Amino acid sequence: MSFSNALPASSPAGATPDGKEGAMPPGIDRNGPDTANPAPATMAPPLRARRLMRACDRAALATAQRPADEGAATVADAAGWPYPSLVLVAFDHDGSPLLLLSTLADHTRNLLADGRVGLLFDGTAGLAQPLTGARLSVLGRAERSDDPLHRERYLRRHPDAAFYAGFGDFAIYRVAVERAHLVAGFGRIHWLSAVELDLPAPAPALAAGEAALLDRLNGKGYGPRLAPATDGDSDSWNLTGIDPEGCDLRRGGYVARVDFEQRIHDPESAKLMLDTLIRPPDGSGQPGGPTSGTKTAGTRPDGGGGP
């Protein structure tokens, strides 16, 4: 098992949203993704890319600016230009990014006209030299999803989004990944096709049993025993998702990721895997290695009005 360190930043590296140093909870390492594993340079690029992507709870979304809408305030001569925006992200069990977007937002109207999108996942937070850190650009096609399991996965990862997720203009969009571009540091650059990225196959048994398993494990205090050992309110870590390659945790505005060393496909194998990874009930020992967390913003993510 390893803890993933490739978590996003809500502000410049190592800074809190108010500009002060120290965005991490006490006791959590923020040295960046290159400390997440003893030899990241030797990690296979597809595995490095998948772990970086899954550890992020937000991304920069690029869409192609659509032609001006009649009667709208869209800039007429901006059509065709790349339009970047910030989105919160979760992932399906097969690794497909999931976005909660409003049709009031420019980026949603853009992708409804042209479904091709780019997502930048930044794993450089906290590094003194960010360009030595890892980042991943994902290219794919976004389509609206009415699958209730997609919505549940997203809202468990981003519980504050429940406040506006029920608004009529909001929906979940799934991005079918077609290729990715990994920059793992100077000179370590790789284009990966969807096949080379080796995203896991869908896991229907795990998807069907995930919610019940999470309730069971959180009721037994697995979150604090899987999360990084920290000072303070460490008992409030909760599991928010389990997928074939790892599990996600949240403590208030902080997130963490535990990566599995082999894939699992159903609730039973997930439970067995987690049983081998948890810290003893007395709190002694470490569940695997260093990790980092990042403070997330509590604002509406898509610029579509409202909170």
CATH 3.20.180.10 for domain 201-278:
yes
SS3 26: coil
CA 14 – CA 124 distance, rounded (Å): 10
List pLDDT tens digits, range 96-131.
999 999 999 999 999 999 999 999 999 998 899 999
Residue 198's closest CA among 256, 244, 147, 259? 244
This prediction has a pTM of 0.81
Q: Is 182 exposed, middle or buried (0-12, 13-18, 19+ CB in 10 A)?
A: buried
**Could you tell me which residues come within 8 angstroms of residue 113 by beta carbon, excluding any fewer than 6 positions away?**
64, 66, 67
Return the domain boundaries, the chain: 46-70+78-199, 201-278
List pLDDT tens digits, range 150-179.
999 999 999 999 999 999 999 999 999 999
pLDDT, greater one: 116 or 16: 116
List pLDDT tens digits, range 177-227.
999 999 998 888 999 999 999 999 999 999 999 999 999 999 999 999 998
Instruction: Provide the pLDDT confidence category of residue 72 given band limits of 50, 70 and 90.
Output: low
Alpha carbon distances (Å) from 4 to 136, 188, 216, 300: 15, 19, 24, 26
The 2-3 sheet, strands edge to edge: 2-3, 254-259, 246-251, 238-243
Instruction: Spell 76-90 as b/e; 16+ CB within 10 A means b.
Output: eeeeeeebebbbbbb
Q: Which CATH number fits domain 46-70+78-199: 2.30.110.10, 3.40.50.410, 3.40.50.1220, 2.40.50.180?
A: 2.30.110.10
Residue 178 dihedral angles phi and psi, to the nearest 5°: -110, -30
What pLDDT, on the 0 to 100 scale, is given for residue 293? 41
Alpha carbon distances (Å) from 27 to 16, 22, 23, 228, 291: 16, 11, 11, 8, 10
